[in-house]
Amino acid sequence: MPANRCSEEISIKATFRSKRGSMIIPLAEVTNKIYDFIVAGGGTAGCVLASRLSQNPNIKVLLIEAGGSAQGQQNTEVPFLGVTLPGSDLDWKFNSVPQAGLDGRSVPVARGQVLGGTSTINFFTWNRASNALWDKWASLTGDQEWSWKHVEKYYKMTSRLVKPADGHDTTGEIIPSAHGNGPIEVSVPGFPTELDSMVVNTSKSLGGRFAYNQDINAGKTLGFGLMQSSIGHSKRSSSATAYLAPAMNRPNLDVLINTHVTRLVRTSERHISVFRTIEVATSASGQHYQITAAKEIILSAGVIGTPQILLLSGIGPKEDLDKLNIITYVDIPDVGRNLVDHPLVPNYFSVNSDKTFDAVLRDPTIFAGKLQEWASSGQGLFVDSPGNTQGYMRLPKDAAIFERYQDPASSPESAHTEIIFVDGFGQFGEAPAPETGNFMTVLTGVVSPLSRGSVTLTSSDPFDKPAIDLGLLNSEFDIFAMVQAMKDAQSFLTAEPWSGYIKAPFGELADATTDEAKAAYARKFGVTGNHPAGTAAMSPAHAAWGVVDSKLLLKGVEGVRVVDASVFPHTPECHIQAPVYVIAERAADLIKEKYAI
């Protein structure tokens, strides 16, 4: 198919927002333009790149996104409603393949299909990872520019602290000097729940492995404290709202929505294959078009979309591509492999309280009242995501598992497990919410898992969903760590501040009194922690493993860079959106430096 092929009568929606508002322009205008950079995937990282690269008015940027815009859509703005977005029209609605570690269950795998990508549908937690994680990346990639010392400035470019919704004094809850001055707004909870002080007081009184951490984003993630979230002025702060929206009136930035990138097209093979052309379509049966970048294609289609596009382009493990009759242009065995995800288990407790959010979810009138309170005053329950406190822990030093496994965490100060406290019955997984009673959900997670999964093609049709194996709880280490997290959570709840509050473990958790029974519970009720990463990992330029080099350039190819969660060489022992923003900020700088723009 010739490059830039198009016809007048067929148009693909491209929205270009000017000060006059939103305009739809035909694909013809896009295919006839010359862009310096084409960013494939308008998600968390993609919007950062589109925004940063188009700061230079002489540089022409095209951002291509499979989904639409959620601008002004209330359910993406209201923090409390974030949990309703997986499974909605803004989600790709993937499912995993049956997970051996979860008793053979398939679990939903949510990913944003919308401008802002998964940052438009996620649950807000803002963790930039320990300094040690970044130093680990530097050592794995052989590039000191990934060490915390060098990356700190990029973190500070991503985000800034803003007041919580209720404007309360945050002294002692956060360390302002650890934060930066970037577009993403970050705040501590603006509607404190009765759990918050119990968690903080318990950690202060217990100390040790449960110690209080005043600011999880100040270098050390271990310990318990208030959740920091990508919420500002009572609303979601995403890469679409914070990075893309302010750039939309730039004449040198075009944004193509509802458009699927189907593959990269090899344009020449000199000493190395060159891929500067991208193929797009709006449906499997529809016309396919090609658009070429003068400088680079930047793949930011995420941990699933990026390897899928690479494989469809003949870049990946030859043995897999042969099976689908896809010509292998570049044999990179690790494309789609090494997927790491954080398993998560909901532990339910019935509690002595009438203040949990359970009644709000059961009664449409109360719910509507809370929503109205958010809309009219920016106050109340709905200003926060349902979890206000979190803690990161290491396994006990003498844990028996270390006799058989090396510590997988990035340093002796990095976490193995996480605990999140939710002030009501949070429906994570299939357990139905009870019709009466008050509850607390304690989410336990493993953040240094040894299990690995993959993304593989199921066909050569770009519109077919790939096979996603999250590898949840496959490793003996991971199930050991999960059981320890469940036991740690229960120990935490026996401390004095909880006295009289916890009635009893609820549901099948009540019977999970032994390690074996806890493991069985975890396998039965475990879900994804929504943090898959690593399917196009960064590695030293000449390493046999990995997919991109430490400058994020695709190995063995000219013209392609990968910038999203798929490049993680070691997954952060925390929530991962902030590290994605850091990568994107650094990538923008690398590109600006390379092309002197």
Ligand X SMILES: Cc1cc2nc3c(=O)[nH]c(=O)nc-3n(C[C@H](O)[C@H](O)[C@H](O)COP(=O)(O)OP(=O)(O)OC[C@H]3O[C@@H](n4cnc5c(N)ncnc54)[C@H](O)[C@@H]3O)c2cc1C
Residues near ligand X (CB under 6 A): 40-46, 64-67, 86, 110-113, 117-119, 121-125, 260-261, 300-303, 305, 309, 530-531, 564-565, 575-578, 580
Q: Classify residue 434 by its DSSP letter.
A: P
Cβ(161)–Cβ(578) below 8 Å = no
Report the nearest approach of ligand X to the CB of residue 169 (Å). 25
386: Cα separation from own chain's centroid: 18
**Is 548 part of any known ligand binding site?**
no
For ligand X, which is the closer residue by CB, 502 or 565?
A: 565
Q: Which of 179, 342, 570, 575 is catalytic?
A: 575
Report the nearest approach of ligand X to the CB of residue 208 (Å). 27
575 catalytically annotated: yes
Report the nearest approach of ligand X to the CB of residue 529 (Å). 8
Report the nearest approach of ligand X to the CB of residue 304 (Å). 7
**Is 114 part of any known ligand binding site?**
yes
For ligand X, which is the closer residue by CB, 206 or 216?
A: 216
**Is 261 part of any known ligand binding site?**
yes
In degrees, rounded to 5, the angle at the alpha carbon of residue 408 between the alpha carbons of residues 513 and 152 is 120
Cβ(562)–Cβ(554) below 8 Å = yes
For ligand X, which is the closer residue by CB, 523 or 531?
A: 531
Q: Which of 179, 260, 531, 570 is catalytic?
A: 531
Q: How far apart are CA 172 and CA 422, in angstroms?
A: 22
For ligand X, which is the closer residue by CB, 125 or 159?
A: 125
Q: How far apart are CA 549 and CA 562, in angstroms?
A: 10
Residue of this chain nearest to ligand X (CB atom): 43
416 catalytically annotated: no
Q: How far apart are CA 107 and CA 342, in angstroms?
A: 13
Helical H segments across 229-341, by residue range = 302-312, 318-323
For ligand X, which is the closer residue by CB, 119 or 202?
A: 119
Contacts of 182 (CB under 8 A, 6+ apart): 156, 157, 158, 159, 160, 581, 585
Extract the tokens encoding 331.
């044999």
For ligand X, which is the closer residue by CB, 122 or 158?
A: 122
φ, ψ for residue 296, nearest 5 deg: -150, 150
Report the nearest approach of ligand X to the CB of residue 261 (Å). 4
C-beta atoms surrounding 191 within 10 Å: 23
Q: How far apart are CA 478 and CA 476, in angstroms?
A: 5
- Choose among 592, 540, 554: nearest CA to 157: 592
Q: How many CA atoms lie within 13 A of 236 on its CB side?
A: 28
Helical H segments across 170-286, by residue range = 194-206
Q: How far apart are CA 597 and CA 591, in angstroms?
A: 8
SS3 324: coil
| Residues known to be catalytic | 531, 575
Q: Indicate the annotated binding residues for FAD.
A: 114, 118, 261
Q: Indicate the annotated binding residues.
A: 114, 118, 261
